[in-house]
Amino acid sequence: MKPSRPLQIVLSMAFVVACWAYSPTGIHIGLQAYDPGHLALLRFLVASAFMAVVAAFKGIHLPRIRDVPLLFGLGFFAVSLHHVAINFGQQGVSAGASSVLAQTTPLFSTLLARFVFKDRVSVWRWGCVFLGLIGVVTVVAGDRGFGSIDAHGLLILLAAVSWSFYFALQKHHTGRYDGLTLVCYTVWAGTVLLLIYLPGLAAQVVSAPVHVQLAVVALGVFPSALAYLAWAYVLAHVDLSRATMTLYLVPPTAMAIASFALGERPTMMIVVGAVVVLVSVLALNLERRPVAISASV
């Protein structure tokens, strides 16, 4: 390992955390001028164009015809369903609370492993899932109060469920393509599926304020493209279980960004719920056979 490599890895990890922590704030700014579906499409049109430039310089493999349904499945769960659900959900959930709820993917991956793939789930994992769900209820209630709990928080959780399906599909087909190739085709396939929101997009682009346009471009370039490339670099040099520990920094960083950019002040219940959720996910990963985790952006 070269002397500069550890510094490069640390900087890459910090970059990933910053990008994925910005995502909830960027979405809230984008929703000031865009409908949730239009915002998702525009974000990934930008990401697709950026990834096309990267692919042209780095080179990627052509997909096999028989893998096209798989790639569209990955695009549906990782891009289309995930981000449309998040955008609709964040219409009624703060950026800080959204960042916490998005970290529940490993809990749903455990449920998916048990009820879909019929894997054995230990008592430890069931305890982690139960604890995590308590944290989720606390965060949702603390965000708007018990009397205002509605479907918005459930949509963020749907996004986490969608992300867990994406990881399950990816896990069962990891050997077919390299990381860059898989990310490119996933982003492009998901963008194609989002084209159902194309009607009316041009009118919203023309009328959106400049600061909103910049926020959406940043969403497309940083959390949706560059962060994935940096994460692939980290995973190439660091064990997955060690690398994913850095993702526990995403919610507090997201809350700090939202506090600065949006003036959000998380309530004590959100903070307590966030701690409970992150502890449950951490405990899940401390088991001998950990469930893979990643941030939902």
What is the per-residue burial (b if ≥16 Cβ within 10 Å, else e) of 127-163? ebbebbbebbbbbbbbbbeeeeeeebbbbbbbbbbbb
Mind listing the pLDDT tens digit for each residue in 59-96? Answer: 898 889 999 999 999 999 999 999 999 999 999 888 88
The structure tokens listed for 245 are 């520990």
- Where does the pLDDT of residue 122 fall: very low under 50, low under 70, confident under 90, or very high at 90 and above? confident
Lowest mean per-residue pLDDT among 76-85, 152-161, 255-264, 282-291? 282-291
DSSP state of 61: P
Q: Over range 22-45, report the average pLDDT.
A: 97
Question: Across the chain, what does the average pLDDT equal?
Answer: 85
How much of the chain, in percent, has pLDDT values that exceed 70?
89
Q: Over range 3-25, report the average pLDDT.
A: 86
Q: Over range 130-159, report the average pLDDT.
A: 79
Residues written for the chain: 297
Cα–Cα separations (whole angstroms), residue 72 to 80, 81, 232 = 10, 12, 21
Lowest mean per-residue pLDDT among 62-66, 114-118, 137-141? 114-118
Q: How confident is the model at residue 167, as a pLDDT?
A: 80
The answer to whether the beta carbons of residues 288 and 276 sit under 8 Å apart is no
Lowest mean per-residue pLDDT among 52-61, 95-104, 228-237, 262-271? 228-237
pTM (predicted TM-score): 0.86
Lowest mean per-residue pLDDT among 172-181, 257-266, 271-280? 172-181
Please give the Cα distance from 25 to 257 (Å, whole number).
7
The answer to whether the beta carbons of residues 47 and 221 sit under 8 Å apart is yes
Is the pLDDT at 119 greater than 80? The verdict is no
Cα–Cα separations (whole angstroms), residue 152 to 45, 250, 263, 277 = 25, 21, 20, 18
Q: Indicate the domain borders of the chain.
A: 5-286
Q: Over range 238-256, report the average pLDDT.
A: 79
